Amino acid sequence: MGGEAIRSVATEQAPQAIGPYSQAIVAGGFVFCSGQVALEPGASGKLEGSDVAAQTRRALQNLGAVLAAAGSGPDRVVKTTVFLTTMDHFPGMNQVYAEFFGTHRPARATVAVAALPKGALVEIEAIALAAPHAPR
């Protein structure tokens, strides 16, 4: 990358990574966020919510915290990928997703998967623009 700085993002306002990866990486003017599930931030690491709407809400709150720590925000998201354990959960996820992003409409892919970490029903990853003033 031609000597360009790559910065790892970590915040206690979102669950700590449960593997050898970063919550997000800032590089090339973008923020690449790892997938977020509905884990509570902090020591408990407990899965929050028993339905897809509640889990989507927590996952998006976690994503928002990571974006904020990276010097970005939901209004700067350009692409998301949503992973669902069944497409039957699409309407519940979609309603909460629409509330979170408001009138902003990032590009999105939604796919069904066999399983997600910690038994989660939904996982959401994002790519966002870094704030122009964000450290690189």
134 inside domain? no
Q: Quick one: average pLDDT of 22-26?
A: 97
Contact 51, 113 (CB under 8 A): no
Q: What is the pLDDT of residues 99-124, one digit of tens each?
A: 999 999 999 999 999 999 999 999 99
Contact 40, 120 (CB under 8 A): no
1 inside domain? no
56 inside domain? yes
Q: What is the pLDDT of residues 51-65, one digit of tens each?
A: 999 999 999 999 999
Query: pTM for this structure?
Result: 0.93
* Domain range enclosing 85: 7-15+23-129
Check residue 63 and give its pLDDT.
98
Q: Where residue 43 falls among pLDDT bands split at 50, 70, 90?
A: confident
Phi, psi (deg, nearest 5) at residue 90: -55, -50
Q: What is the mean pLDDT of the chain?
A: 93
Alpha-helical segments (H) within 33-131: 52-69, 90-101
107 inside domain? yes
Check residue 1 and give its pLDDT.
44
88 inside domain? yes
pLDDT of 91 higher than 70: yes
pLDDT of 94 higher than 70: yes
Q: How many domains does the chain have?
A: 1
Residue 41 maps to which CATH number?
3.30.1330.40
Nearest to 68 by CA among 29, 21, 10, 123: 10
